[in-house]
Structure formats: structure tokens, C-alpha cells
């Protein structure tokens, strides 16, 4: 029955609904005739009445209720005709009763199979509708996540630019005014010169802090090589602030023309480096960026304590945000044990218009 179903499904797939019923109907009719011939050859001692259910089932499942009922009547007639051809007197009350009972059983099976087929069709339609609705919901959620991340990055970039263009400039002007004041005090040989220069140094420290904050909020410049420059600065800053040997490797140009994609990749690298320093107690970190034929590959590998058994070292909000960023870009994120110990975080961004592969400019 399964092989017949597969055959009929394949045969009717590219055809119209009415045309798809023709082949199963012809097959069911021919089977009734073939079973009738077999019934005639086997004689009256061996009955094949149950075998007629096979073409009836085919007609009920693939053609419809009306055709199945016609097959039920035709099967009873063929069965009685074969018995008559074998010398039995079928025009009696017993044969009429047997024919009626047989037809009733056939019709019950046909109606049952027809109803089952209708239920299956309804379930398939509902499943398709729910799958469509679920696909739409998933698409809406992905679009919402992308928009939220874009809004977050845009606001951070705006705040960083405001810090750089307003507060930093104001502090710079204040420091210059303090330097002028210190020079005037020194020229008059008056007191307060040391205090004025101390104020200038504090203002310069504040300017440096403000610029670092602005850079942290807007780490990637909106240009094709912005991610390469930002990752190089990240490795330098990690070396400067922590007792870690952090190295950036990029053998060839890995250009990204979509600023939001470059920012997502940088944040993934930044979170990975932070995890290696804070949780992994790493001494060496290698940040690698490589443009391959399959796409752009960002990896961060360290020699820290590695992953705990059964779970990743990076967990909680940081990992979820990394996964969200990768999903928004259409990238895949992997966190695994490094070959020499420690952890390797690998993000593969499939090649598209947002970035270039090897040899592209």
C-alpha cells in the first residue's frame, strides 16, 4: 500500500486535480477486473472477496467517495458473476443477502478511508497555515532583533560622536585656558602656578578618558577597512590594559562595506577577548580575520583554562548577545575547545554584498 501511495503521489504531482484522479481510477478499475479473473480461476472453494478492498481503498483514497461506492457495487457484481460462471446459482435469497452484506462492508471501508483522507488533507492544510504563520513570526522576530540592534548601535554611535565633538572639545578649550592662566601666573611670578598646571593635567586626563569612551561607543569607522583597524586597536588596547599578549592577524584585505556588519563582528571579538581575560585567565590571545571563498571568518583563540565540561565558558547575557548578533548578520557562531587548550570563538559570515572575498577590492 505504501509503494502504491508513493507511485500515485509521484504520478499526480505535476497535474491538475481532475487529471490526478484518472490514473488511480483506471488502476482501481483494472484491479477489480483482474481480481474477478483470479476469483474465477480459483473457483468457488476459495473466496477473494476481501481482496476487492484493495482497489476500493485506492479509489476511496485517490479518487473520491462517489467513485469508491461505484467500485463497491462493481466488486459485488463481479464477485457474483464469477460464482455464476463457476456453476453457482446466485439468484437466491442467500446470495442476495451475502451480496448486500459484502457491499455494506465495502462501502463502510470506502467511506472510512475517504473520511481519513479528508482529515489528512485538512491537517496538512492547517499545518501549512501554521508553518506559514510561524515563518512570518520568526521573520518578524528576526527583523525586530535586527532593528533593535541597529537602534542600539546608532544611539551609541551618536553618543560617541557627541562626546567627541562637544564634551572633548569643551574640555580641550578649558585645558588651553588653564594653560594660558598658568603661563600668566608664571610671568607675574605669582603663586598658584603649580595648582593651575595640576588642573590642566586633570583636564587632559579627562579628555583622554572622554575620547576612550567615545571610541568605545563608536569603535568601527564607516569605511571598508574599518573592522581591520578597529581589531588592531583592540589588540593594542588589550596589551596595554591587561597582562596579556594579544595579537591581531590579517594576512590579506578583509573589506566590509556594511558598517553595521563590521560593528557586529567587532562586538563579538570584543566580548570574546573580554571573556578570555576575565574568565579564562588567558596569557595569549590571537584575533584573526580572514577573507575566504566561503565568506569572512573571524576567530578569537586563547590559551586560558578552557571550557568547563558540558558547557561553554561564555554564558549568560554576553553569549546570547553574541548569538543574536551572528543571527542578525546571517552568520554562524561556534565556541569550542582550542587544539592547544583554551577556547576558540569562530564566526563565519557567508559571502554577500556586505563584504569582499579574497582578491576583491
Task: Give per-residue pLDDT as tens, 66-125.
Answer: 888 898 989 888 888 887 887 776 667 777 888 888 889 989 999 999 999 889 989 999
Mean pLDDT of 269-275: 90
Mean pLDDT score across all residues of the chain: 80
Query: Is the separation of the CB atoms in 207 and 178 below 8 Å?
Result: no
As given in the structure block, the three cell numbers for residue 19 are: 487529471
Is the pLDDT at 299 greater than 90, yes or no? yes
Which is more confident, 82 or 313?
A: 82
Query: Is the separation of the CB atoms in 55 and 75 below 8 Å?
Result: yes
Q: Map grid coordinates 561553554 to a residue.
A: 312
In b/e form, how buried is each residue of 234-267, taking b as 16+ CB within 10 angstroms? bbebbeeebebebebebeeebbbeebbbbbbbbb
Least confident of 28-37, 158-167, 173-182, 329-338: 158-167
Please report, for residues 156, 179, 279, 349, the alpha-carbon distance to residue 15 in angstroms, rounded to integers and kept in the order given: 57, 88, 62, 41
Whole-number Å distance between alpha carbons of 229 and 246: 15
Whole-number Å distance between alpha carbons of 194 and 115: 97
**pLDDT for the residue numbered 301:** 92
CA nearest to 359, candidates 293, 298, 294: 293
Query: Is the separation of the CB atoms in 341 and 303 below 8 Å?
Result: yes
Whole-number Å distance between alpha carbons of 205 and 33: 100
C-alpha 175, offset from chain centre? 53
Mean pLDDT of 230-242: 88
| Cross-strand bridge partners of residue 165 | none
**pLDDT for the residue numbered 353:** 46
Least confident of 119-133, 307-321, 329-343: 307-321
Torsion sign, CA atoms 192, 195, 200, 201: positive
Which is more confident, 146 or 14?
A: 146
CA nearest to 358, candidates 245, 278, 272, 254: 254
Mean pLDDT of 332-356: 81
Is the pLDDT at 178 greater than 90, yes or no? no
CA nearest to 255, candidates 149, 146, 150, 359: 359
pTM of the model: 0.52
Highest mean pLDDT among 148-162, 193-207, 263-277: 263-277
Is the pLDDT at 329 greater than 90, yes or no? no
Least confident of 62-66, 163-167, 314-318: 314-318
Whole-number Å distance between alpha carbons of 105 and 20: 27
Mean pLDDT of 305-333: 74
Please report, for residues 123, 212, 249, 267, the alpha-carbon distance to residue 262 in angstroms, rounded to integers and kept in the order given: 45, 19, 16, 9
Mean pLDDT of 206-233: 79
**pLDDT for the residue numbered 241:** 82
Given pLDDT bands bounded at 50, 70 and 90, which one contains residue 15? low
Torsion sign, CA atoms 270, 272, 278, 283: negative
Long-range Cβ pairs for the range 302-305 (8 Å, 24+): 302/276, 302/338, 302/342, 302/343, 302/344, 303/338, 303/340, 303/341, 303/342, 304/276, 304/279, 304/280, 304/341, 304/342, 304/343, 305/279, 305/280, 305/281, 305/342
**pLDDT for the residue numbered 314:** 46
Whole-number Å distance between alpha carbons of 160 and 101: 87
Amino acid at each position: 500500500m505504501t509503494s502504491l501511495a508513493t507511485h500515485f503521489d509521484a504520478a499526480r504531482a505535476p497535474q491538475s486535480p481532475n487529471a490526478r484522479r484518472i490514473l488511480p481510477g483506471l488502476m482501481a478499475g483494472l484491479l477489480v477486473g483482474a481480481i474477478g479473473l483470479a476469483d474465477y480461476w480459483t473457483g468457488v472453494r476459495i473466496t477473494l472477496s476481501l481482496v476487492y478492498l484493495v482497489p476500493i481503498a485506492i479509489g476511496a483514497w485517490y479518487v473520491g467517495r462517489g467513485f469508491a461506492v461505484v467500485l463497491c457495487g462493481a466488486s459485488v457484481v463481479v464477485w457474483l458473476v464469477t460464482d455464476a460462471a463457476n456453476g453457482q446459482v446466485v439468484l437466491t435469497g442467500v446470495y442476495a443477502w451475502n451480496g448486500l452484506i459484502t457491499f455494506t462492508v465495502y462501502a463502510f471501508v470506502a467511506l472510512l478511508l475517504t473520511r481519513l483522507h479528508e482529515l489528512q488533507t485538512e491537517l496538512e492544510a492547517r499545518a501549512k497555515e501554521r508553518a506559514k504563520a510561524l515563518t512570518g513570526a520568526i521573520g518578524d522576530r528576526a527583523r525586530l532583533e535586527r532593528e533593535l540592534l541597529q537602534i542600539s548601535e546608532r544611539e551609541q554611535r551618536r553618543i560617541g560622536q557627541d562626546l567627541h565633538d562637544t564634551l572633548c572639545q569643551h574640555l580641550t578649550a578649558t585645558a588651553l585656558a588653564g594653560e594660558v592662566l598658568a603661563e600668566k601666573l608664571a610671568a607675574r611670578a605669582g603663586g598658584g602656578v603649580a595648582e593651575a598646571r595640576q588642573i590642566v593635567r586633570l583636564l587632559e586626563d579627562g579628555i583622554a578618558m572622554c575620547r576612550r569612551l567615545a571610541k568605545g561607543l563608536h569603535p568601527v569607522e564607516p569605511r571598508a577597512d574599518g573592522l581591520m583597524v578597529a581589531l588592531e586597536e583592540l589588540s593594542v588596547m588589550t596589551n596595554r590594559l591587561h597582562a596579556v599578549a594579544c595579537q591581531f592577524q590579517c594576512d590579506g584585505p578583509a573589506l566590509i562595506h556594511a558598517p553595521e556588519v563590521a560593528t557586529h563582528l567587532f562586538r563579538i571579538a570584543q566580548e570574546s577577548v573580554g571573556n578570555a581575560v576575565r574568565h579564562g585567565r588567558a596569557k595569549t590571545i590571537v584575533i584573526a580575520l580572514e577573507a575566504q571563498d566561503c565568506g569572512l571568518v573571524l576567530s578569537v583563540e586563547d590559551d586560558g583554562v578552557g571550557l568547563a565540561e558540558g558547557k561553554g565558558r561564555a554564558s549568560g547575557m554576553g553569549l546570547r548577545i553574541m548569538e543574536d548578533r551572528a543571527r542578525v548578520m546571517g552568520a554562524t557562531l561556534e565556541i569550542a575547545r582550542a587544539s592547544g587548550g583554551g577556547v576558540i570563538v569562530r564566526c563565519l559570515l557567508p559571502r554577500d554584498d556586505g563584504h569582499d572575498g579574497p582578491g576583491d577590492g
